Amino acid sequence: MAPPIVTLPWGREQLQIRLPDDWRLPEVLVPRAVPAVPDVSAEVHRALARPCGSSGLATLAGPGTRIALVIDDASRPTPVAQLLPAVIEEIERGGACREDITVVTALGVHRPMTEHELALRVGPALLATLAWRNHDCDTPAELVPLGTTSRGTAVLLNRTVAEAGLVVSIGCIEPHVIASFGGGCKNLVPGVAGRATIASNHSLNCGPDTFAMVGQPIERNPMRLDLEEAARMVRAPVFIINAVLNAALGVVKVVAGDPVRAHRAGVEVSAGMCGVAVAELADVVITNSHPMDQDLRQGLKALANAVVAVRPGGVVLTLARAEEGSGVLGLAGSRMPLGRGALKLLAPMLLRLVPHIRLHGMGEEDRFFLYFALQAMRRASLLIYAPAVPSEVRARLPFVEFVDSPEAGIERAHAIAGAGARVLVFPDGGVTYPVLGPAVS
């Protein structure tokens, strides 16, 4: 029996891909279906009424308390506008006023948000009542040194956040290639940290055992443990409100409270939904960026999430919607002096040299992505269909081979993997990751 036509979400449309007749498709791997809550505001109120490991937000937000309200930017799918009203209500119930609140955008190294973008994210009526500022990771006067972690990360943090009497962080928990899962303290480091702090923290996972940490236990993730240690240096209480989202980006649960204990409760929900069992490595993995369709940086999560499911020497075909082009992708601004063949041949040596490589246009914080790219291309042939990404950007990313259509990608994958290939498909690859059994891990 011939493999079926595979249907994948593609923005508001769908892609239909016919697989070769001589390929084997054991299964299409999708997240566990969990319905969204019927009332997001009620779910936030529920979480705030039962915080994990923390006093209530109203108790912490007493009269006159200066509050840094940290929110992630549009590169994350957090439905901030749906979460924030209940949070403000709880803050005001404690006695703090809106004049005491400053919204700080957790940009990391991303570009500043415009007022219009922030209004869309927060809600224009609510933003009009709040002070706000973009985080700046490069201006020393905007950063405060807090100390050095046990893993050697010098912690520079946004001044508004570091000097606040209470830090409230709104984000989401999703599978994450470096940090195991997003959310928790990530709005602080890297979100409102200095560039050098971000670079040091990310570099901790530049190792053969830690370059692909999506969904992995946090106690084995040095980068995540380091950023949580850094966040504990903030003198004020830190209170998080994190949403766990399904593949349709609907809120299935909200957790609130201590940035570690509440985060772990949310991780348990996310892992149970997004981790899918893989009993045998595939010759070909087809992974689709949905729902991380904003740009190539986000879309590459589909590759990062799924690469461990392919056998060494296999093929990964990534379909990246990338509606806004490449996004903030440091490697896309660098000109690699080597082509794909030379990179793959020299990858074992280059991996050892990553800490010392200096490329024009590449920031220190991009070293992890360079390391990951070298490890991934060493493992498998990487094909990408990303029609919205400009040709000049494609030319600067020799780690992958861009194809002009899904059909061209399938044809190229068949030429590499041949007949009889075992295929795994991840339609929602942006939020799905393989859980390898003991026989394949």
Domain 40-272 has CATH 3.40.50.11440: yes
What are the distances in angstroms from CA 284 to CA 194, 320, 372, 422? 39, 17, 19, 6
Task: Return the closest-CA partner of residue 336 out of 399, 384, 385.
Answer: 399
Cα separation, 403 vs 417, in Å, equals 16
Burial of residue 164 (number of CB atoms within 10 Å: 0-12, 13-18, 19+): buried
Residue in the structure block whose two tokens are 């291309």: 377
pLDDT on residue 14: 95
CATH number corresponding to 5-30+279-436: 3.90.226.30
Cα separation, 84 vs 107, in Å, equals 18
Beta carbons of 214 and 176 less than 8 angstroms apart? yes
Query: Tens digits of per-residue pLDDT, 95-121?
Result: 999 999 999 999 998 889 999 999 999
Structure tokens of 357? Answer: 């490589």
Task: Return the closest-CA partner of residue 203 out of 395, 351, 393.
Answer: 351
Report the number of secondary-structure helices (H) and strands (E) in the chain: 15, 20
Q: Given pLDDT bands bounded at 50, 70 and 90, which one contains residue 6?
A: very high
Structure tokens of 28? Answer: 């299409």
DSSP E strands in 164-206: the ranges are 166-173, 175-176, 180-181
Average pLDDT, the chain: 93
Distance of CA 221 to the CA centre of its chain: 15
How does DSSP assign 292-352, residue by residue?
Answer: --S-HHHHTHHHHHHGGGEEEEEEEEEE---TTTT-S-GGGGS--SS-HHHHHHHHHHHHH
Residue 1: is its pLDDT beyond 60?
A: no
Q: Given pLDDT bands bounded at 50, 70 and 90, which one contains residue 334?
A: low
Task: Return the closest-CA partner of residue 66 out of 186, 213, 237, 196.
Answer: 237
Beta carbons of 131 and 95 less than 8 angstroms apart? no
Beta carbons of 379 and 307 less than 8 angstroms apart? yes
Task: Return the closest-CA partner of residue 365 out of 236, 238, 190, 227.
Answer: 190
Q: Given pLDDT bands bounded at 50, 70 and 90, which one contains residue 340?
A: confident
Cα separation, 17 vs 4, in Å, equals 9
- What pTM did the predictor assign? 0.92
Query: Tens digits of per-residue pLDDT, 122-165?
Result: 999 999 999 999 999 999 999 999 999 999 999 999 999 999 99
Mean pLDDT calculated for residue range 233-259: 97
Burial of residue 66 (number of CB atoms within 10 Å: 0-12, 13-18, 19+): middle
Q: What is the DSSP letter of 45?
A: H
- Residue spans per domain, the chain: 5-30+279-436, 40-272
pLDDT on residue 242: 98
Give the β-pairing of 143-148 and 154-158. antiparallel
pLDDT on residue 347: 79
pLDDT on residue 392: 87
Query: Tens digits of per-residue pLDDT, 190-226?
Result: 999 999 999 999 999 999 999 999 999 999 999 999 9
Mean pLDDT calculated for residue range 79-101: 97
pLDDT on residue 361: 61
For the CA atoms of 28, 34, 36, 38, what is the dihedral angle to 10 degrees? Answer: 140
Query: Tens digits of per-residue pLDDT, 355-409?
Result: 777 665 666 667 888 889 899 999 999 999 999 999 888 888 888 999 999 999 9
Q: What angle do CA 430, 328, 113 make, to 5 degrees?
A: 100
Residue in the structure block whose two tokens are 């079926």: 4
Mean pLDDT calculated for residue range 316-341: 78
- At residue 7, the 3 state secondary structure works out as strand
Structure tokens of 64? Answer: 């006159």
pLDDT on residue 191: 96
